[in-house]
């Protein structure tokens, strides 16, 4: 059983996230916290395996809290759940080794897929390593929604991750303009990333026909 601490400044949101986690086989929420101070106390008392961490806390920015959490429990993993779409926030989270970065708002299936992937990665860690293939097998899953292939010239890894996260988190399909608004980039840039994902088979595209003009291209992450 993987034990989880949910950290979110909104107690109602924390309750929803707790209910989501409790619906996933193999997981158990052992507590919730609504501030950085509460999170530090809870990690001492509850010793969770995984922390679902909101970045916007009332007393500390979540990325600044990660090192303190790990100082209390070095083997604790962090899954960031946040509305922070800034590329620097994503880069900071990646540098600190978070297991995933999930943008709000999201649905149950979005969180469940990431928790299931995390559980698979935990069980894939080997007692002994006999070859590079063993290492590659452990590292290969990486983060769901993270682009690991070589990107075309002019596309950045950080923005690709943000666009992928926005499409995955969408309740329905997105237009390039809607995706651009969520990520904070231009519609033209969003379209380039979305079309790249289409060409690599990660995103499906559908056409929405209006009364006049060209049909609108709408994108959905492929399950």
189-222 pLDDT, tens digit each: 999 999 998 888 888 988 888 766 778 899 998 8
Strand arrangement of the beta sheet that strand 203-208 belongs to: 174-175, 216-221, 203-208
Distance of alpha carbon 78 from its chain centroid, rounded? 11
pLDDT for the residue numbered 144: 44
* Separation between Cα atoms, residue 76 and residue 96, nearest integer Å: 12
Determine how many CB atoms are found less than 10 A away from the CB of residue 114.
23
pLDDT for the residue numbered 123: 72
Q: List domains and CATH numbers for the chain.
A: 2-139 (3.40.50.2300), 157-221 (1.10.10.10)
Of 172, 173, 170, the closest CA to residue 198 belongs to 173
| CA distance readout (Å), 206 to 82, 109, 221 | 28, 22, 11
pLDDT for the residue numbered 49: 96
Residues of the chain with pLDDT under 70: 124-150, 211-212, 223
Asked if 180 and 174 count as a contact pair (C-beta separation under 8 A), the reply is no
pLDDT for the residue numbered 199: 84
Could you tell me the pTM of the whole model? 0.62
């Amino acid at each position: 059983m993987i034990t989880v601490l949910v950290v979110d400044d909104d107690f109602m949101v924390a309750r929803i996230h707790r209910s989501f986690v409790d619906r996933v086989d193999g997981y158990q929420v052992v507590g919730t916290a609504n501030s950085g101070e509460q999170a530090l106390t809870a990690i001492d008392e509850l010793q969770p395996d995984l922390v679902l961490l909101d970045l916007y806390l009332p007393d500390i920015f979540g990325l600044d809290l990660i090192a303190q959490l790990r100082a209390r429990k070095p083997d604790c993993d962090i899954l960031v759940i946040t509305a922070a779409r800034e590329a620097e926030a994503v880069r900071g989270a990646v540098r600190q080794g978070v297991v995933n970065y999930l943008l709000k708002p999201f649905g149950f299936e979005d969180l469940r897929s990431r928790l299931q992937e995390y559980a698979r990665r935990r069980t894939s860690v080997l007692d002994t390593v006999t070859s590079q293939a063993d290492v590659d097998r452990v590292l290969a899953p990486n983060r769901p929604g993270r682009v690991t292939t070589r990107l075309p010239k002019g596309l950045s890894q950080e923005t690709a991750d943000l666009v992928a996260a926005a499409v995955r988190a969408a309740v329905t399909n997105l237009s390039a303009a809607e995706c651009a608004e969520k990520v904070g980039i231009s519609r033209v840039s969003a379209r380039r990333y979305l079309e790249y994902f289409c060409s690599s088979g990660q995103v499906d595209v559908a056409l929405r026909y209006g009364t006049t003009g060209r049909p609108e291209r709408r994108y959905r992450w492929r399950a």
